[in-house]
Amino acid sequence: MPSFQFETTPRIVCERGAALKLAQTLQAGGQRRAFIVTDPGLVRAGLVEAPAAALRAAGLHATVYDRVEADPPEHVVLEAAQAARDDGADCVIGLGGGSSLDTAKLVALLAARPQRLEDIYGVQRAAGPRLPLIQVPTTAGTGSEATPTAVVSTPDHQKRGVISSLLYPDLAVLDAELTAALPAGPTAMTGIDAMVHAIEAYTTRHRKNPISDMLAVRALQLLHAHLGRAVADGSDIAAREAMLLGSLLAGMAFANAPVAAIHALAHPLGSHFHVPHGLANALVMAPTLVFNLPAAGHLYAELGRALDPALRDAADAEAAQAFIAAMRGHVQGSPIPQRLREVGVGEADLPVLAEAAMTVDRLLMNNPRELAQRDALAIYTQAF
């Protein structure tokens, strides 16, 4: 067995209505001034008012910062951190999708210990302390509540990551009632994103370990079994809860066994064309899985058998192909764009995307099969 280390969020609560009980946690920790980081869409949807009101009803101060943008740019992160300092915040609550949760991580850090973002991009370069941090996801996709990473968009259209153990929250709250209003399209996109996290954690070339493997398999089983239900009926709270748990487990897995080429190929779609991250992953997932077959076929076979007991005695080649077909089926059966041309990408853009993908070496190095620029172009072409 290889040597390994494993880190994760120290406390997790999975309970319907738990977002309305955060005051108890804050009071127990002596916090009085909460800074809630979210986005304007959630405020308009009415998902922020009740948790904030519950804090105020308990006698706590609660400020809502609702200017988070998708793929949060540096200026939004810095503005939010300054607002938290000006407000005298003594704790931060991230409430929303991955962009809000990632921003909340950096707000908790920078409000307590101001430092330049360009100085802390990379692995374990951030300095503490940080403010106490609670993460409350409203989508079942990023798993950010269980990862030490915050991704930021830079002015030159790159996506840079701050990766530090300081960014694990003190508490992750899975409240399925907050996800019930998510439309079918975003439900599918975020759910497929979580599946990719599990797949790439299981097949990564670096830091794959028995704990991440176990988490990735269980995450994929939950997501595979419940995504269709959640997309078809958003009010299916049992399915929503299973998706949240699957997303969390996948986040725990890839935080310790990092993702690879699917994410590397998805990044330029987000930074250059503002394609939502989950959709970008969905668009390039199947052709990348096919590309990886020569190196990862036996691992895909193991995942296929974990999802379908009928494949228990199947040969690796058959089980691996069945697994890829199942993953492709999730994309094709979802109410989301199916081709790059449907999200504003032109054929002339494909070489530019391929060149940009090759700059994401921190992820490409984890891929089970070496991927060159010509391979990236071939995958984008298949997805076009």
* Strand intervals (E) in the chain: 12-14, 33-37, 61-65, 91-96, 122-123, 133-137, 149-153, 159-163, 171-174
Residue 341 CA to residue 344 CA, distance in Å, equals: 6
pLDDT in the model for residue 158: 81
Per DSSP, the three-state class of 135 is strand
| Mean predicted confidence (pLDDT) in 171-194 | 97
Fold exhibited by the domain 12-179: Rossmann fold (3.40.50)
Counted residue by residue, the chain has a size of 384
Per DSSP, the three-state class of 78 is helix
pLDDT in the model for residue 281: 98
pLDDT in the model for residue 194: 98
Residue 157 has pLDDT above 80, yes or no: no
Which residues sit opposite 159 in a β-bridge? 153
Q: Please, which contacts does 224-229 make with residues 24 or more away whose CB atoms are closer than 8 Å?
A: 224/195, 224/307, 224/326, 224/330, 227/187, 227/188, 227/191, 227/192, 227/195, 227/330, 228/330, 228/333
Asked whether the beta carbons of 270 and 71 are under 8 A apart, the reply is yes
Tell me, what amino acid is at 136?
A: V
Q: How confident is the model at residue 263 (pLDDT cuts 50, 70, 90)?
A: very high
Pull the structure tokens for residue 218: 């269980």
| Mean predicted confidence (pLDDT) in 254-266 | 97
pLDDT in the model for residue 271: 85
| Mean predicted confidence (pLDDT) in 1-6 | 89
pLDDT in the model for residue 254: 98
Cα end-to-end span (Å), the chain: 41
CATH 1.10.287.70 fits 184-383, yes or no: no
Residue 300 has pLDDT above 80, yes or no: yes
Q: How confident is the model at residue 71 (pLDDT cuts 50, 70, 90)?
A: confident
Residue 1 has pLDDT above 80, yes or no: no
| Mean predicted confidence (pLDDT) in 184-202 | 98
| Mean predicted confidence (pLDDT) in 65-91 | 96
Domain ranges of the chain: 12-179, 184-383
pLDDT in the model for residue 159: 83
Task: State the DSSP H helix or E strand holding residue 299, giving kind and residue range, or none if neither.
Answer: helix 277-307
Q: How confident is the model at residue 167 (pLDDT cuts 50, 70, 90)?
A: very high
pLDDT above 70 covers a percentage of the chain that reads 100
